[in-house]
Amino acid sequence: MKYTVSLKENHIFRRLYRKGNTAADSRLAIYVRRNGRPGNRLGLTVSTKVGHAVVRNRLRRRLREIYRLHEHQLVRGVDLVVCPGCDLESSRQCVDLAERYNYIYAAVGLHPENLEGASLSDLDAIRTMAGHPKVRAIGEVGLDYYWVKAQEDRAFSRDFFDAQLSLAEELDLPVIVHDRDAHKDCLDIVRAHPNARGVFHCCALSAEDAKVVLNWGWMLSFTGNITFANAKRAPEVIRCAPIERIMLETDAPYMAPVPHRGERCDSSLIPITAATVAQLKGLTVEEVLSITMDNGKRFFNLT
C-alpha cells in the first residue's frame, strides 16, 4: 500500500505563515491518497507561534500517525471482499484482483447503465470469465430506470437482464441485482427465472415487494443509505426481514453512512450501517456483523 499526501510541506508552510495570519493555530486539510486514489480528508492543527523546524517535526509525527490510523481502519474488520464488475473491462479487472489477493472474490456482468455499444454476444466473454474459480456471482445486472430513460434502451436492458439471469441459472451462480426505479419489471423478469437465486443490492424495495423476493428465497442487501434521515422504506423492510436474509455492503465509492455521507465509502464504515440494523432488529452490532458476514459467506460460497 502506497500513501501520498497531496499538500507539500512548502505549501503547508506558505499557508501557515502567510502574511496576515494572526491565528495562534491554523487548521489544515490534508488529503491522504492511497495507491494514487483519493482517500480521506484529514485535519491537522499546527501552531504559528513556533518555528519551522518544530512545525516540520510535528507535521511528520502527525503524518506517521495518520498513515498508521488509515492503514488500520482499512484493514480492520475486512476479511473478505466481493468485487462486482459492471462491463467487460471492469469484470476482467475484478477477476485480476481476485487472482492477486486471496481475500478478494469477483462477480462479473453487464450493468444496465453500461450497455452502450454492448451486444448479447458479449455474454460469451462473461460466461468464460465466470468459469474462473474465484468468480462467485453474476453481477451487477438488472434495470435502472433512473438513468436509462429511452424506451428502446430500457427494452435493451431488459433483454440483458433476462439473458444474464439465464446465464446464472446455467452456471448455478447467484446474481447481484441492481434495481433502481424499476421494481415491477425487475420482479417480473426474475419471476420468469425460478431457478435463479440472488440478492437485491442497495435494496429499495417496498415491504410488499421485499416479501415476494424473500419468498423466492432471495437475499436483501443494504448500504449506508439506511442511516440517512430520509430513509423510510429500508428500515421497514429490515424490521420485517429475517436477519439470516440480510447482507450489508459498501456500494463503494457511494452510499457512505451518516456522519460520512457524501464521502468515499469503504469497508471500514460497515459497522456504522450495522449499528442501524442492530437498532432495528434489537441485536448488538457485533451480532449483526457476525450474522451478516455468515450470510455473505453462505450466499457467495466463500471459505
> At its nearest, how many Å lie between Zn ion and the CB of residue 245?
19
* Min separation Cβ 186 and Zn ion, Å: 12
Task: Check residue 178 for interaction with Zn ion (CB under 5 A).
Answer: yes
Question: SS3 for 64-87, per residue?
Answer: HHHHHHHHHHHHCCCCCEEEECCC
Q: Return the DSSP state at 147.
A: T
Cα–Cα distance measured from residue 222 to residue 202, given in angstroms and rounded to the nearest whole number: 5
* Identity of the residue, 178 or 183, whose beta carbon is nearer to Zn ion in the bound complex: 178
Between 105 and 200, CB nearer to Zn ion: 200
How far from 174 is each of 70, 135, 166, CA to CA, in Å? Answer: 33, 10, 11
Of how many residues is the chain composed? 303
Q: How far is the CB of 4 from Zn ion (least distance, A)?
A: 30
Q: Which stretch binds Zn ion (CB under 5 A): 68-76, 175-183, 213-221, 257-265?
A: 175-183
- Residue (213 or 278) nearer to Zn ion, CB: 213
Q: Which of 195, 129, 202 is nearest to 168 (CA)?
A: 195
CB 84 within 8 A of CB 97: no
Nearer to Zn ion, 181 or 294 (CB): 181
- Contact predicate 145/117, CB 8 Å: no
Nearest distance from C-beta of residue 298 to Zn ion, angstroms: 21
CA pair distance 44, 66, nearest whole angstrom: 10
Residues 254 and 84: their CA atoms lie apart, in Å, by 14
Q: Which is nearer to Zn ion, 140 or 266 (CB)?
A: 140
The CB-of-201 to Zn ion minimum distance in angstroms stands at: 6
Give Cβ neighbours of residue 155 (< 8 Å, ≥ 6 apart): none
> How far apart are the two ends of the chain, measured CA to CA in Å?
25
Q: With CB under 5 A as the contact rule, which of the stretches 86-94, 128-136, 178-186, 288-296 interacts with Zn ion? A: 178-186
Whichever of 233 and 281 has its CB closer to Zn ion, that residue is 233
Residue 70 or 178 having the CB closest to Zn ion: 178
Minimum Å gap between C-beta 85 and Zn ion is: 12
CB 187 within 8 A of CB 210: no
Pick the piece of the chain touching Zn ion (CB under 5 A) from 36-44, 171-179, 233-241, 294-302.
171-179
What residues between 111 and 140 interact with Zn ion by CB under 5 A? 140
CB of 67 to Zn ion, least distance (A): 32
Site residues (CB under 5 A) for Zn ion? Answer: 140, 178
